[in-house]
């Protein structure tokens, strides 16, 4: 029997590019918490530069992500409705509670890590207004070292809960076979780690005080997270029996999915080739970092936006064209713009160099 | 003028005034979200409770559907979804055998919310805005919905959408507001072939129960393996249409703001 669709409606996407921005920014935030905590608890010389970058990233991305999430709600002012009843069957409802906990713990963790870089009011009499604000944010001259490890553990638990809920929230949707795979949460988490390490490496280069040792350890992190992501991807392609066959079906028929597959393969191959080099020149390291970010963002785009063009009942794929406005390109640019502004603000506040670091 | 004639004319006048007011009342009913959307309480019935003891379902006899889209139009007029969004449509397919000699047949497939017994859209809702009435009708309280779109994803039938006017989830309600006052849903009322039959599945004497019993060997639902237990039944549907269609997609087009068509690649 040969079936041709003659007349079927086209269905618009429901989760907008804001969702990609939320998953991406949240990934940067929770993965930088992981990197900071693992570094804090590992033996060897403490890399203050790495911790400083992690703190800046978890703070800024942790602020931008919930804003993007609110924008993805079609009724953002009704967000309080999440808290007005008990909905234990909905992963999204759990997320509404886990998210503010993460925002709080990650902000405290970042603040404790960054406090030492905020100027002390008494030490410097000739402060400009930025330094005066920064010194106020220090909230007194006390040692935060004791608290850091406890907060680090709490924040890491919270970060794991965010990685779990964002992955499961998507995975739980049986009606979208592309999403309904246990490989999705680990793919999301490992690509988030890859993107966070790439962003940290770019920040190390971008912000004043570049450290080669930090860049070297970040390269290790990128190698490890890329390896994990690639393993998960191979595992999904070989062992998944719902989502992977659906992707194969789309590959057969849809030019846009063929293009996406070519892009994924080329990006993976390029990254693998560059990471296989024993010594990476600084310029190649920068390309590796940017490609890592690009891969993780593009992966989220394919999973969250392009997957919505896969019909649940009909043949072929639905149409999607990126709009220019807030529901499209402007939303994407705006989110990144806000993040850039925040990272600039944070870097401005923490330009003070503590004496302890100088004497080391 | 004698008294009886004066009374007669007076009554005629009040009838004509009443008739003139009908459109105003209808417009008011459409403008007032409480009467159009179940989930809010009105003075005459409890829309969120539903009709206790009944279980509404629909049978669609594909042998009787000619694909005229009168149901699509009637639903659109009744429920006023935004342009390009539909609570029900009739999808059309060309079906042919492998050999080229036989001429193709056409299948008209009316689609709407299946008001499942096990609706996957409800548990995912983070605010409880979407729920099932006691008569089985799945509704959305659009004053409580946050527009997260999670239910739209969870529905395996693409029956839900985010209404571009209200920015909340929207779907077929079996015209619950009409059923509750003893009217048929707009799509059923308008169907020229009487292909759509709605009724109480709990009542063995209802037309729908009898139709289901009489055609028990030819009753199908969409995605029977999805564990949703749909309550929209089809008579005369090939099993090739039960699950996701394996076929050739149509040329889809998009309209730009200026009305220009953007064609898709396939």
Distance to chain A for B225, nearest Cα, Å: 12
Distance to chain B for A89, nearest Cα, Å: 5
**Across the interface, which of A308, A313, A315 has its CB nearest the CB of B157?**
A313
The mean pLDDT value of chain A amounts to 93
Q: Are A85 and B128 a contacting pair at CB < 8 A? A: yes
Q: Are B91 and A93 a contacting pair at CB < 8 A? A: no
Domains and CATH numbers, chain A: 17-355 (1.20.1630.10)
Region A218-236 average pLDDT = 97
3-class DSSP state for residue B130? strand
Distance to chain A for B15, nearest Cα, Å: 44
**Across the interface, which of B92, B97, B156 has its CB nearest the CB of A7?**
B92
pLDDT at residue A316, as a whole number: 87
More reliable by pLDDT, A144 or A250: A250
Confidence of residue A62 (pLDDT cuts 50, 70, 90): very high
pLDDT at residue B174, as a whole number: 98
Write out the H or E segment, with its range, that includes residue A255.
helix A255-276
Confidence of residue A181 (pLDDT cuts 50, 70, 90): very high
Name, in order, each residue with C-beta under 8 angstroms of B15's C-beta and a sequence gap of 6 or more. none
Distance from C-alpha of A131 to C-alpha of A223, rounded to nearest angstrom:
38
Region A148-174 average pLDDT = 97
Region A41-61 average pLDDT = 96
pLDDT at residue B40, as a whole number: 42
Angle CA A15–A16–A17, to nearest 5: 130
| pTM for the structure as a whole | 0.89
* Residues on chain B touching A18 (C-beta within 8 angstroms): none
The pLDDT tens digits along chain B (266 residues) read 555 656 665 565 555 555 544 444 443 443 444 444 444 444 445 778 899 999 999 999 999 999 999 999 999 999 999 988 999 999 999 999 877 778 889 999 999 999 999 999 999 999 999 999 999 999 999 999 999 999 999 999 999 999 999 999 999 999 999 999 999 999 999 999 999 999 999 999 999 999 999 999 999 999 999 999 999 999 999 999 999 988 888 777 666 666 666 654 43
Give the number of C-alpha atoms closer than 13 A to the C-alpha of residue B45, restricted to the C-beta side: 19
H helix runs in chain B, sequence order: 3-31, 33-36, 70-79, 121-124, 150-154, 176-179, 186-190, 207-214
Q: Does A78 touch chain B (CB under 8 A)?
A: yes
Locate the domains of chain B by residue range. Answer: 56-92+105-239
Confidence of residue A179 (pLDDT cuts 50, 70, 90): very high
**Across the interface, which of A3, A72, A308 has its CB nearest the CB of B93?**
A3
Q: Are B94 and A7 a contacting pair at CB < 8 A? A: no
Confidence of residue A220 (pLDDT cuts 50, 70, 90): very high
| A224-233, A249-258, A290-299, B105-114: least confident range | A249-258
Instruction: Read off the tokens for A59.
Output: 């703070």
More reliable by pLDDT, A319 or A265: A265
Distance to chain B for A319, nearest Cα, Å: 7
* Residues on chain A touching B168 (C-beta within 8 angstroms): 74-75
pLDDT at residue B38, as a whole number: 41
Of A50-59, A134-143, B26-35, highest mean pLDDT: A50-59
Distance to chain A for B220, nearest Cα, Å: 15
**A positions 315-344 inside 8 Å of B (CB):** 315-319, 321
More reliable by pLDDT, A120 or B192: B192
3-class DSSP state for residue A4? strand
Distance from C-alpha of B30 to C-alpha of A249, rounded to nearest angstrom:
44
Q: Which residue has the tokens 């548990």?
A: B123
Which CATH number, 1.10.287.110, 3.30.70.20, 3.20.20.60, 3.40.50.920, labels domain B56-92+105-239?
Answer: 3.30.70.20
**Across the interface, which of A87, A315, A321 has its CB nearest the CB of B249?**
A315
């Amino acid at each position: 029997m040969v079936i041709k669709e003659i007349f079927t409606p086209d269905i618009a996407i429901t989760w907008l590019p804001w969702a990609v921005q939320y998953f991406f920014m949240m990934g940067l935030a929770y993965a930088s918490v992981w990197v900071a905590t693992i570094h804090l608890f590992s033996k060897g010389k403490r890399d203050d530069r790495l911790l400083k970058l992690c703190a800046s990233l978890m703070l800024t991305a942790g602020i931008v992500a919930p804003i993007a999430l609110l924008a993805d709600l079609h009724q953002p002012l009704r967000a309080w409705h999440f808290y007005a009843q008990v909905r234990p069957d909905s992963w999204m409802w759990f997320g509404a509670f886990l998210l503010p906990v993460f925002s709080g713990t990650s902000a405290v963790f970042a603040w404790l890590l960054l406090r030492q870089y905020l100027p002390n009011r008494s030490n410097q009499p000739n402060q400009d207004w930025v330094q005066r604000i920064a010194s106020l944010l220090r909230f007194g001259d006390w040692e935060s070292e004791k608290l850091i490890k406890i907060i680090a553990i709490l924040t890491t638990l919270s970060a794991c809960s965010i990685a779990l809920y964002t992955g499961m929230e998507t995975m739980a949707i049986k009606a979208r076979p592309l999403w309904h795979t246990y490989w999705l949460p680990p793919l999301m988490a490992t690509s988030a780690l890859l993107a966070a390490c790439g962003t940290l490496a770019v920040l190390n280069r971008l912000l004043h005080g570049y450290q080669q040792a930090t860049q070297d350890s970040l390269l290790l992190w990128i190698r490890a997270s890329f390896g994990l992501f690639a393993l998960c991807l191979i595992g999904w392609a070989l062992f998944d029996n719902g989502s992977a066959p659906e992707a194969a079906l789309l590959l057969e028929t849809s030019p846009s999915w063929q293009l996406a597959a070519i892009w994924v393969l080329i990006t993976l191959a390029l990254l693998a080739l560059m990471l296989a080099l024993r010594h990476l020149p600084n310029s190649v390291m920068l390309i590796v970092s940017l490609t890592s970010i690009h891969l993780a963002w593009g992966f989220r785009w394919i999973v969250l936006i392009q997957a919505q063009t896969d019909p649940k009942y009909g043949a072929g794929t639905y149409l999607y064209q990126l709009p220019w406005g807030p529901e499209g390109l402007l939303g994407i640019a705006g989110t990144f713009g806000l993040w850039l502004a925040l990272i600039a603000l944070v870097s401005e506040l923490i330009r003070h160099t503590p004496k302890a670091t100088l004497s080391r | 003028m004698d008294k009886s004639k004066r009374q007669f004319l007076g009554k005629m006048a009040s009838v004509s005034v009443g008739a003139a007011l009908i459109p105003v009342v209808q417009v008011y009913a459409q403008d007032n979200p409480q009467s159009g959307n179940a989930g809010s309480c009105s003075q005459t019935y409890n829309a969120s409770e539903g009709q206790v003891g009944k279980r509404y379902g629909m049978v669609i006899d594909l042998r009787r559907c000619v694909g005229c889209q009168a149901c699509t139009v009637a639903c659109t007029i009744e429920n006023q979804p935004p342009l390009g969004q539909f609570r029900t449509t009739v999808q059309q397919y060309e079906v042919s055998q492998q050999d080229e000699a036989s001429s193709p047949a056409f299948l008209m497939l009316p689609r709407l919310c299946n008001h499942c017994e096990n609706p996957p859209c409800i548990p995912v809702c983070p605010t409880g805005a979407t729920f099932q009435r006691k008569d089985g009708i799945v509704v959305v309280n659009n004053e409580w919905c946050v527009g997260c779109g999670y239910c739209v994803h969870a529905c395996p039938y693409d029956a839900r959408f985010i209404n571009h006017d209200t920015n909340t989830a929207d779907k077929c309600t079996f015209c619950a507001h009409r059923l509750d006052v003893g009217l048929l849903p707009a799509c059923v009322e308008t169907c020229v072939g009487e292909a759509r039959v709605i009724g109480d599945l709990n009542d063995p004497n209802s037309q729908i129960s009898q139709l289901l019993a009489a055609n028990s060997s030819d009753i199908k639902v969409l995605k029977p393996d999805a564990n949703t237990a749909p309550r929209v039944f089809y008579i005369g549907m090939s099993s090739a249409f039960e699950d996701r269609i394996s076929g050739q997609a149509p040329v889809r087009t998009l309209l730009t703001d200026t009305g220009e068509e953007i064609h898709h690649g396939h």
